[in-house]
């Protein structure tokens, strides 16, 4: 009976060690994230960053764009995956903009809407999209 318990313990211990190694790999990927930027360990899920989204007004868009230009770690936190280009774009835009705000924006500023095409935010989105295609 004791030998059976010991045998089970050894098997469970080996199983836990394998999963621990896998978790270490996942943690490393999260810290480096898929865009190649190195994140601080404590900033992977930064609450100050998360509360900024979805943006609710034009001022929030310009504020985020300014932060991207001035804070190098801010850009590294802006990664969202997707299964394909359409899914990626939909997920990103859904997380960035409320429906009300998106109705006030357009790519080129058509009908006096806020122009999105020259924002760093969009450049990052396009850059991450290209990385997603290459991976």
Q: What would the 3-class secondary structure string for 81-93 be?
A: CCCCHHHHHHHHH
In terms of domains, do 95 and 49 share one?
yes
Residue 114's DSSP bridge partners are 105
- Tell me how many domains the chain contains: 2
Confidence (pLDDT) at 113 = 92
In terms of domains, do 112 and 130 share one?
yes
In terms of domains, do 22 and 68 share one?
no
In terms of domains, do 28 and 85 share one?
no
Print pLDDT tens along the chain (135 aa).
Answer: 888 898 888 888 888 888 888 888 887 777 766 555 554 544 455 677 777 888 888 998 888 888 888 887 777 676 666 667 777 777 778 888 888 998 899 888 888 999 888 888 888 777 755 554 444
In terms of domains, do 44 and 25 share one?
no
Domain boundaries, position 28:
1-32
CB proximity list for 28: less than 8 A, separation 6 or greater: none
In terms of domains, do 52 and 117 share one?
yes
Q: For residue 88, give Cα distances in angstroms to 57, 117, 124, 127.
A: 23, 17, 13, 12
In terms of domains, do 43 and 107 share one?
yes
- 105 φ/ψ angles, rounded to the nearest 5 degrees: -125, 155
Confidence (pLDDT) at 43 = 45
In terms of domains, do 28 and 47 share one?
no
Q: Are 18 and 4 in contact (CB under 8 A)?
A: no
In terms of domains, do 27 and 44 share one?
no
In terms of domains, do 4 and 44 share one?
no
Confidence (pLDDT) at 34 = 54
Report which secondary-structure segment, H or E, holds 28: helix 2-32
In terms of domains, do 76 and 117 share one?
yes
């Amino acid at each position: 009976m004791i030998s059976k318990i010991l045998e089970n313990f050894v098997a469970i211990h080996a199983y836990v060690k394998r999963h621990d190694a896998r978790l270490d790999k996942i943690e490393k990927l999260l810290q480096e994230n898929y865009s190649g930027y190195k994140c601080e360990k404590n900033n992977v899920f930064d609450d100050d960053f998360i509360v900024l989204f979805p943006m609710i007004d034009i001022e929030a868009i310009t504020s985020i764009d300014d932060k991207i230009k001035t804070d190098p770690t801010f850009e590294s936190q802006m990664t969202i995956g997707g299964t394909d280009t359409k899914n990626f774009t939909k997920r990103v835009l859904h997380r960035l903009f409320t429906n009300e705000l998106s109705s006030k924006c357009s790519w080129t500023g058509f009908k006096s809407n806020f122009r999105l095409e020259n924002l760093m935010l969009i450049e990052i989105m396009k850059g991450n999209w290209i990385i997603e295609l290459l991976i």
